[in-house]
Amino acid sequence: SFGLSSDYKEVPSRDSALVKYFRDKGAFLLGTTNLDPACLDSLGSNPYHGDVENPLRKDLLCGGSSSGSAAAVARDYCDFALGSDMAGSIRIPAACCGVVGYKASTDFLPLHGALSLGGSLDSAGVLCSSLEDLEVLLGISAEEDLSWKYIPPEMLGGMDALIRERYSHFMQHMRTLISLSAINESIGFKEAWEIRKDLIASAAKEFFISHPSRVFPEAAKALLEYDRRGSDERKDEVKRRVEFLIAHYESLIGEKEVLITPTLPCLPPVKGEELSGDFESSFGRFLVLANVLGAPALTVPLPCDSGEFPISVQFLARPGSDKILIGAVTKLMKRCLSDKVF
């Protein structure tokens, strides 16, 4: 359904390449899940099929757009679920539901046959209960030792006190296990967020134009109008900014280095809470850079005491370093647990 109304009807004649990829590995398809309409929101809300309930706290939103996938994994309905990520669509609900969320490098996992709006921003990915499950799914056994970098809390700004405290606490523990280098300059989070609308609008317009407008939410119509008003000069500027972000990231993060950041700057919003106009721009602001870069990104929930809501941290690497990233993070988190650093 692509999260759309019943007016949208498109029945596939065969499995998408991603479904076939995992079926060929022995997976059994159990069903499909709900999501935000056309993948264009990050809250887990759907006016056509109902909102997805957060398995951890019913009063909080589930996050989106791959909300149903995250909730299904968190409720142990399945071993893993699939999703796509063009601006945090896997990582946001994974963090909101306390599961592992993996956004692949561009083309590392096949997207052919799946509905994809984000063009170069879009990547396939997986949500599962543990890093060990992810290693098994992808056949990963590599455990290379990598160098680790992080962004200090004071360089990020705008985080809730709870997120800042737990992220700082986690990084303090990491210093007892690994050598950490701080990045004390902008990595490009803000710049990536500022151009994501241009990139999505340009990539999605053909899909939106080819279907009746009544099947799409207002956000889709707004994107079409935004693209229509865009000038050639603006599009050239966006292209230059993408090239700059790629070069800047590669100057800061080497081929065998991992960057650690928070996943979200705050807890999921409360259901029914009136959100400020800048909420969207703050909620996913640590995530879009990986999409612009085509880089792998992994969000992992940190262990917490009973009754506490888990927060997640994000691990980024160079494009194409998916297996190395997952193997290294799995090894690190196992060491954290065995050394009882939490």
The residue to which tokens 């991603």 are assigned: 18
- With b for 16 or more beta-carbon neighbours within 10 A and e for fewer, the 86-123 pattern comes to bbbbbbbbbbbbbbbbbbbbbebbebeebbbbbebbbb
On the question of pLDDT at 340 being above 70, the answer is: no
List the end-to-end C-alpha distance of the chain, in Å, as a whole number. Answer: 41
On the question of pLDDT at 94 being above 90, the answer is: yes
pLDDT at 250: 97
213 — pLDDT class (breaks 50, 70, 90): low
What mean pLDDT comes out for the span 24-48? 84
What mean pLDDT comes out for the span 319-325? 96
- Within 10 angstroms of residue 263's Cβ, the number of other Cβ atoms is 26
4 — pLDDT class (breaks 50, 70, 90): low
Is 27:43 a contact under the CB 8 Å cutoff?
no
What mean pLDDT comes out for the span 286-313? 95
Give whole-number Cα distances, 239 to 130, 201, 202, in Å.
37, 14, 12
What mean pLDDT comes out for the span 323-327? 95
**How far apart (Å, rounded) are the C-alpha atoms in residues 333 and 342?**
10
On the question of pLDDT at 144 being above 80, the answer is: no
Query: Could you tell me the domains of the chain?
Result: 17-338 (3.90.1300.10)
Q: What phi, psi does 295 have (nearest 5°)?
A: -95, 155
**How far apart (Å, rounded) are the C-alpha atoms in residues 270 and 101?**
22
**How far apart (Å, rounded) are the C-alpha atoms in residues 327 and 145?**
9
On the question of pLDDT at 125 being above 80, the answer is: yes
On the question of pLDDT at 115 being above 80, the answer is: no
Whole-prediction pTM value? 0.93
**DSSP conformational letter for 12:** -
On the question of pLDDT at 164 being above 90, the answer is: yes
Q: What phi, psi does 231 have (nearest 5°)?
A: -95, 165
* Helical spans, DSSP H, in the chain: 17-24, 67-74, 91-97, 131-138, 153-156, 161-174, 189-209, 218-229, 232-252, 279-283, 288-293, 322-338
pLDDT at 208: 76
Per-residue pLDDT of 167-205, as tens digits, reads 999 999 999 999 999 999 999 999 999 999 999 888 778
Name residues whose C-beta falls within 8 Å of residue 115's C-beta, 6 or more positions apart in sequence.
2, 207
**How far apart (Å, rounded) are the C-alpha atoms in residues 64 and 26?**
28
Per-residue pLDDT of 230-263, as tens digits, reads 889 999 999 999 999 999 999 999 999 999 999 9
Structure tokens at 51: 């909102």
CA angle in degrees (0–180, nearest 5) for 279-228-40: 35
pLDDT at 269: 92
pLDDT at 5: 66
